[in-house]
Each structure stands twice: as C-alpha cells, then as structure tokens.
Structure 1
Amino acid sequence: MSRLRTSSVAGVLAALILVAQGATPERVAGRYVLEGEHEVGSELVLQRGGQFAYMLSYGAADYTARGKWHVAGETVVLDTRPPTEPPFKLVRSLPLHTPDIRVWVTTKKGTPVPRLEVVLTTEKGDASATTDRDGMAIFPAASAAKSVIIRMPVYNKDSGAIALKELDTDITFVMNPEAIATVPFHGEMLKIEGDTLEMLYWDKTKPMVYRRQK
C-alpha cells in the first residue's frame, strides 16, 4: 500500500512540475500508452527530433501514423506524413471479349485480396460484388463500365470513384496497405494534462488518455 501511495505522489509531483515549468518539446517528448480503454491497444512516441510514431489496434484493424509534432501552448500538435500512393491504384485495364466485367485486387507482390466491396457503375446503374479468394469481383452481363469504387469495411476506407474505359472488361488494381492504415492527422491537437495527453481524434465527445511511460 505504501508503494502505491509513493508511486501516486511521484506521479502528481511530476505533473505539477510540468505545469509549473510550462510545456516544451524536451519535457513532453517520450513514449505514451493508452489507458482505460477496453479491446484497444495504442501508443504514441514523440521523438526529441520532432518526429512521432503512432499505432492503434482495434479488432482486425491496425492503424499507424508517422510524421512531425510540435508544442503549441499546452497542446501537442500532430501532422501525419501522407502516403505517396493512393489506397487502390489502377494498374491494368483490358478490353477482353467476355460476357461480364471482372475487377481484380492484389497486393504489390501479386497476392489476391479477398472480402473487399466493389461497386461498379455502368450505363445501367450501380452493381455490387465482393472479391473472392482469388481477389476477383465479377459482374455478370455487365458492359460499358463508367467507374468503380473499392471499399475496405474493416478500415472504413474506400478508393473514391475511379474512372474506367467503357470497353474494358478485365480491370486490375493494386492495394496499398500503408494508405489504408495510415491515420491522417492534420493539425491534430492533444491536450497536455500533467504526464498525460488527451486525444479527441476518434471520439470528439470523449478524450482518449495517453500516459507517459517512465
């Protein structure tokens, strides 16, 4: 019990010192771990050189972010370095003589990506299909494709509408996992409260609390 009291007092004293001295990059830099959240694991590392690394795992989704950070008043501000490529990149589109339209999705190494939602817009309207274990979504008796949207439900991300050539029936995309999993912090402000940081990015009504590790 005395050890718990000592640890608690030390934490309070550290917080009071930070408040009294004011927030500076040197005092704020460090490793912070999310606390008080069930089924969520997350940490934020603020490096002394002004770079940060962030990760969050929830269910089947693993999010990451890297970029720059700085102190503004009593807040830490995060700006993510954006991915260099889009989530889904069109790499091949061919006018094969088939009675249907096929949309393929693979990784950069050619591995098929299953369970993606694909929405194809043609002259007759919209149709939906899901990629199978071969990474293929098939649209029977479809023609005159106008655009396609590829969605990854686990991350709640999509490609946006990508224009297609009307005569093409065999279309291949490459998925960029970095663009899908990257958290796009842009001027994201985390409130400094003693030895913790409060983040509102995921829920504007309830801050997620990250505590600095010794």
Structure 2
Amino acid sequence: MAGDAEYTIDELARVAETTVRSVRVYHERGLLPSPEVRGRIGYYGADHLHRLQTISRLLSRGMQLNGIRELLDAWDRGDGLATVLGVPEPEPPVPVEVANAPTPAAEPVVPAPASFPATSRPIDWSTTPRCADLAARLVDTGLAAEDARRLLERLRADCDRIADEYSSPLFWSLARQAYERSDRAPEAEARLETDLAIARLIVTRAAAELIDQAFGRYAEPTA
C-alpha cells in the first residue's frame, strides 16, 4: 500500500466522507480493491482513500458506477488517456500509403492543388488512423493523394487553432482554478489529474457535438 496510513472500513468511510455501505458496494461492483486482511480485520491504505475520493468526484459529476469502473480499470491497466476517457478505439487504418498513392487515371473534378496549401507540421498517420482512412477514401474518389494529405493537414491545423484558443479558459474553469486555490498537497494533485481527464472528456464531447451539427448542414441531400 502507498503511504503509511491504515484504516478499518469504518475509519475509511469516515475519512472519505462516505458510508460503510457505499464502501462495500464499491467492493461488490469492482471499483475498490480488497483490503489487506490481518486476523479477521481488513485494513485499507492511502490508495483506497484516493480511489474512494475519485469515485465520489466522478459520481458528483453525474457518472454512473459502470462507467466509473470502466474508467478506473483502464487507468489501472495503464491504458492511454483516450481509452481511459472512454473514447472508442480507432479503427485500423485502410492499408493505403496515402502520401504515395497513385493518382487515378481518370481526370477528377476536384479543387486545384493550390487550394490546399501545405501546413508546417505534417500529419503522423500512425497516430491518426481515422484521418488516414478519410484520406484513403478521398483518394478512392479521385482526389490526388497529395491534395488529400494537404486537406487533412489543414483540417488538423484548424483543430489545433480551436484548441489553442479555447483550452485555456475551459480547462482553467473546469480543473486548474480549483487546484490553484488549493494547498497543492498530493491529494490536490490527484484531484487535478482526475478533473483534467473529466474536463477533456466533457470538452471533447461538446466540441464533437458542435462539429457534427456544423458538418450536418452540408450532408443534407439538398445542400
């Protein structure tokens, strides 16, 4: 166990400002590890306390126990942040070398290459499989591979600009403000980590909703 503190179940519930019944429910639902049993008494440590505090914060933000268990399981496995946040795993990229894909023989009716100027930071296709899939599909429709690459790079650059403009006020309000006002003890740092993960999830989902609505205007048959 991390730290030197030890608690019986009654002490743990009191320190975590919850109930013994809740602690037992979390055990049954797989959210809380078992205590160290010595004799007939179970002893809990600082890790259990931090886990309980995290569960309480997530519950206060409207998450259900099943979702919290999945999040904590992913965290314990050391999964990447996207997995911890519950973002679906990306589909395997279509096996097309976008940058080197041959231009179709037919002359496509597409914007000229000048319409898609190159950006200063190329896309890493290995970390953006959905972008790779989209680029490959664009190539299949007749768009030149270089134009498809540049178009996706422009889209990524616009997303970077959105994040640069809005991340500071959003993440400050949702997570960092409370940390700056705290005593910055280890417990506060642990809470900041959780709050930032939750903030990223909330902001990403809200942005995805707005983007979906924006693109939806152009997906209508009469658009």
What TM-score does the superposition give when structure 1 sets the normalisation length?
0.28
What TM-score does the superposition give when structure 2 sets the normalisation length?
0.27
Q: Which has the higher strand share?
A: 1
Q: Which has the higher helix share?
A: 2
Greater RCO between the two (CA within 8 Å, min separation 6)? Answer: 1
